[in-house]
Structure 1
Amino acid sequence: MARESMEHVSEHVPEHVGVLIVGAGLSGIGAACHLRRECPDRSVAILESRDAIGGTWDLFRYPGVRSDSDMYTLGYSFRPWNQAKAIADGPAIREYVRETAREFRVDELVRYGHQVTGAEWSTSDHRWTVHATGPTGDTTLTCDFLFVCAGYYRYDQGYTPDLPGIDQFTGPVVHPQHWPEDLDYAGKRVVVVGSGATAVTLVPAMAGTAAHVTMLQRSPSYVLSLPALDPLAQKLRGRIPDRYLYPLLRWKNVLGAQLLFQLSRRAPKLMKSLLRKGAMGLLPQGYDVDTHFAPSYDPWDQRMCFVPDGDLFKAVSDGRASIVTDTIAGFTADGVTTASGQHLPADIVITATGLNLLPVGGMRLTVDGDEVALGNTLAYKGMMLSGVPNFALTIGYTNASWTLKSDLVARYVCRLLNHMAAQRYDIATPRPPAGTEATVPLVDLRSGYVLRSIDKLPKQGPAAPWRLYQNYPRDVVLMRYGPVDDDMRFDRAPATVLSGQGT
């Protein structure tokens, strides 16, 4: 009976891992690779809600899907991007992530079809208990450190505003996040509703096949043309070793992006003028740039749109595409009517109207039985949460490549774990000094998808390490070479608890 009782109990003891990563996209795979390299003694598992590696780059399959940052900064610091295109297409990025996972053997760590629903921290047990819905039902694991790399977008549902009279339209209405594989738009009239990165990607990509593509925008975005092939990379590739070329290109593009951002912040009128002149130079003489490419807000109040080799401007210039800046009044069976009285004929309507935010993958976090209200927490170095032990999340830059920040976060987590191991600490909890007050949301943009969920996002404090400055060189100093114990409380587990735990 005693043996049967012990076997029965063991069947219900959750599997324990050292670090549990949520998400097998660009960030999650990168984090696992860093842990393999820098914390080889830590056991690692990755829970992925979908059935493939790649995250966003596996989900988004709409025409022309590509990076909105150059690949020398969107690629991993430890695995150089060596293809010719600096602005790469979605399939190439997806394969790059998968190749990286195979090379570092972290593909073996991924458990597919596991949607994490909640995680509970217990101080008495000094561990997280994580609940997920898996292919065979509910699953529970425990871990010493929980690392959420699920981004902040909701994967199962894009944002679609109220479109008056949309039921009158008889053609397909498609959100890019859920692109049908069998959608045939050859020779069709297409209206793309939206003005963000997805819209400016779709319009030129579809214009080569569709009869005509109209981008209908309520208000314009700033659009800047970048070369699809990096001129310096083209000149130097083959002349200097890749181990020198890749860091050179990476830092050249980092500093260029920082210059663009700082100029936008410090001299917005000058940047507006430069962007306006750039658009005018790529559009037909007399084109109404001020209506269609001059937003009312300052550059980088919302994320800027980059187009490779000016493809959007080319599609508009040669008449394959057009831009209408107006609001939707309604729909007819074969098109869209605008507030100014225009009728835009359409066989297909694409709602490139944005995304929904879903911080930490939508999971419910609790600490010792108390639910964590993300909107009431302060972000520590843009990656941990005040009062939440042994927990990190990855949120990339808004003004530069996502991976620049995710690499820093992963390396910092490794530094923290190694520091804890060296000092025999079991718990690390960020604790803001008394009087530290929230100032702005963690994602400091005025984009609609941010404003719609502003109360759900962690906040930032007035100064480092509770302030994210959107400055990669500064963050390199802070996160790679700065202290790991600033505003951090460390604790050790009692010996009685430690005796029953592994790594």
Structure 2
Amino acid sequence: MHQVSPAADDFSDVLIIGAGISGIGAAYRIQERNPQLSYTILERRSAIGGTWDLHRYPGIRSDSDIFTLSFPWEPWTRPENVADGEDIRTYLVDAAHKHDIDRHIQFDTRVLSADWDSSTDMWTVQTTHDGAARTYRARFLFFGTGYYDYDEPYRPDFAGIENFAGPVVHPQLWPESLDYTGKRVVVIGSGATAISMIPAVARKAGHVTMLQRSPTYLLSGQRINPVVNLLRRVPPRRLGYRLAWLYNVLFIVAVYGIARKAPGFSRKAIRAVAKHYLPENYPVDTHFKPTYDPWDQRLCLILSGDFYDAIGAGRAEVVTDEIDHIDESGVVCKSGTRIDADVLVTATGLRLQALGGVALSVDGEEVKPADRFVYKEHLLEDVPNLAWCVGYINASWTLRADLTARAVAKLLAYMDSHGYTHAYPHLGATPMEEKPAWDINAGYVRRAVHVLPKSGTHRPWNVRHNYVLDAIDHRLDRVEESMVFGRAAVRAVKTA
């Protein structure tokens, strides 16, 4: 792959798009295994962090343990088992600096399009930097852009919302200047964002109301887990860290497995926790008994009952109802209930987006990701030299992101050792049934059926959310399976 390179200031063997967990992790694994390859990271924001730099709402934190969310190659050293967003952002910045990754980042660079040229086996990437056009070229593209639209969150069309007299904010675009001290805040939605935000907002607000259309399952965990910190003290330090990491992996697998195999038991256990924290005679089944089974949608994490404590202290309440309309002073529900508000927070979810919204083409022909099957959960059918990192829905993002980064680093090493300049997965005429890539019934998934690549029903075209099986597959992986390898014409490469 690296034998002949065009002479250009904006050429890299690998171009990584995004400087969040996925991009930083890919850079480390690629330079670890392929030190001979050059790489550049293009980041549209002005700082490292990705989603952890974007989201600044009160209470922003990880929705999974930090040990599996942090990099295996850079141990988390703070005592928390669940970390705040600001601390995660600092961790990512420090990790990138320690491993000399940050000097490869071009900030304030938005990628608009990428076109593959089969005559030269080269990607041409069009970007803007501070409003000025700039072109990059690369042999391989790695998309660490995540799966949602950074610019446009999901905003339902609530009747009359334009008449509301106070601020209307979405957590994804939280204004730092917003002052809600002593005010009545209504949070619309009951997903992970609302559940983590409300205890923090309730400390300053006069009162917080969470208005939900239907209940959500809440799983209580500890910010500082004594078992994890005990394991961390096992010498040597790296062994202790790996034991803490393994404990959290097994916990994730166990919770998900029990929820799927014994949903009735899981329902009762989750309800018992709610009753333990909530006031006596609280209508638990009205507000915290979903109609679906656990993990048909994501479970939301609360820390040591903080969400329930805010309700018990009277600082927050839950209303389960549907919105009829919004007027200048609050929300009117279909039941006739009125909720007065000074601030509305629309925690209504995100909008999915493939490849960060980058327009993709091969030899000038548009490529629509939704028309392609995904291979080994990170390559696209018949698209050369391109990977896209997407995390798990039932475990921390980094578990799959690191598997993806290592798989790409392995592919690059294989191509380099064999002198190949292109590689892509090919399904060909093999019959393949299609199934949903994400097997949860979440609203943001239902709204984006025609956005994500397709999943087949068997490996290597099957997208699954099972870290244990994926880790085994990674160990046994054959790079050549269902792959096409080749070389560009020598003359074309030399004159590129």
Q: Which category describes the TM-score, using the shorter chain as reference length?
A: over 0.9
Q: Distance in 1 between matches of 2:62 and 2:321?
A: 28
Distance 2:64 2:339 in 1: 32
185, 209, 232: which one aligns with 2:180:
185
Residue in structure 2 matched with residue 300 of structure 1 by the alignment: 295
Residues 1:101 and 2:96 aligned together: yes
Equivalent residue for 1:4?
Answer: none
Deviations, residues 102-128 of structure 1 (Å, cap 9, x unaligned): 011111111111111111111111111
- Check the 8 A contact 1:438/1:459 in 2, yes or no: no
1:211 counterpart letter in structure 2 = G
Deviations 1:437-485 (A, max 9, x none): 2422323322111111111110111111111221112111212441111
Q: Distance in 2 between matches of 1:219 and 1:438?
A: 33
Partner of 1:33: 28
- Sort the Cα spacing of 1:206 and 1:136 in 2 relative to 1 into closer, same or farther, 3 A: closer
Residue 143 of structure 1 aligns to a residue in which SS?
A: strand
Question: 1:229 — aligned with what?
Answer: 224
Aligned to 1:451: 446
Distance in 2 separating the partners of 1:469 and 1:250: 22
Equivalent runs, 1:260-279 vs 2, <5 Å:
260-279=255-274
Is it true that 1:143 corresponds to 2:156 in the alignment? Answer: no
Identity %: 45
Q: Deviations over 1:140-185 (max 9, x none)?
A: 1111100000001111121110111112321111111111111111
Structure 1 237/255 Cα, relative in aligned 2: closer, same or farther at 3 Å?
A: closer
Amino acid at match of 2:275: M
Q: Distance in 2 between matches of 1:460 and 1:92?
A: 35
Match of 2:240 among 238, 242, 245: 245
SS at match of 2:450: helix
Q: Secondary structure at the match of 2:325?
A: strand
**What aligned pairs does 1:275-424 form with structure 2 within 5 A after superposition?**
275-424=270-419
Pick the aligned partner of 1:78 from 62, 73, 81: 73
- Alignment-mate amino acid for residue 136 of structure 2: L
Q: Which runs of 5 or more residues in structure 2 are unaligned? A: 1-5
Deviation string, structure 1 residues 1-58 (Cα, Å, up to 9, x no partner): xxxxxxxxx99x6722100000011111111111221111110001111111111111
Distance 2:438 2:23 in 1: 20
> SS in structure 2 opposite 1:206?
helix
Contact (CA 8 Å) 1:197, 1:305: kept in 2 or not?
yes
Deviation track 1:376-408 (CA, whole Å, cap 9, x = no partner) reads: 111111100111111000000000000111011
Contact 1:14 1:142 in 2 (8 A): no
In structure 2, give the amino acid aligned to 1:382: E
Aligned 8 A contact 1:24 1:48 in 2: yes
Amino acid at match of 1:358: Q
* 1:66 corresponds to 2:61: yes
Q: 1:36 to 1:175 in 2, by over 3 A?
A: same
Counterpart residue number, 2:17: 22
Asked if the contact 1:14–1:140 (Cα under 8 Å) also holds between the matched residues in 2, the reply is no
Q: CA deviation at 1:500?
A: 4.7
Q: C-alpha deviations, 1:211-262, integer Å up to 9, x for none?
A: 1110000111111100111221232444433200111111111121112112
Partner residue in 1 for 2:120: 125
1:132 Cα offset (Å): 1.0
Q: CA RMSD in A?
A: 1.6
- Report the residue type matching 1:198 in the other structure: T
Contact 1:408 1:480 in 2 (8 A): no
Q: Map Cα deviations across residues 313-348 of structure 1 (whole Å, 9 max, x no partner).
A: 111122111000101112233221111111112111
Q: CA deviation at 1:489?
A: 1.1
Distance 2:162 2:360 in 1: 39
Q: Secondary structure at the match of 1:396?
A: coil
**What letter is aligned with 2:274?**
A
2:436 paired with 1:441: yes
Q: Is the 8 A contact 2:66 2:82 kept in 1?
A: yes
What is the count of residue pairs matched by the alignment?
A: 491
Partner SS, residue 149 of structure 2 = strand
| 1:218 to 2:213 alignment | yes
The residue type equivalent to 1:427 in the other structure is H
CA contact (8 A) 1:190 1:214 kept: yes
TM-score for both structures, normalised by structure 2: 0.96
1:433: how far off? 5.4
1:5 match: none
Q: Which runs of 4+ in 1 moved over 6 A?
A: none
Instruction: Answer whether contact 1:436 1:461 (CA < 8 A) is retained.
Output: no
| SS across alignment from 1:154 | coil
Counterpart AA for 2:488 = A
The letter of the residue matching 1:253 is N
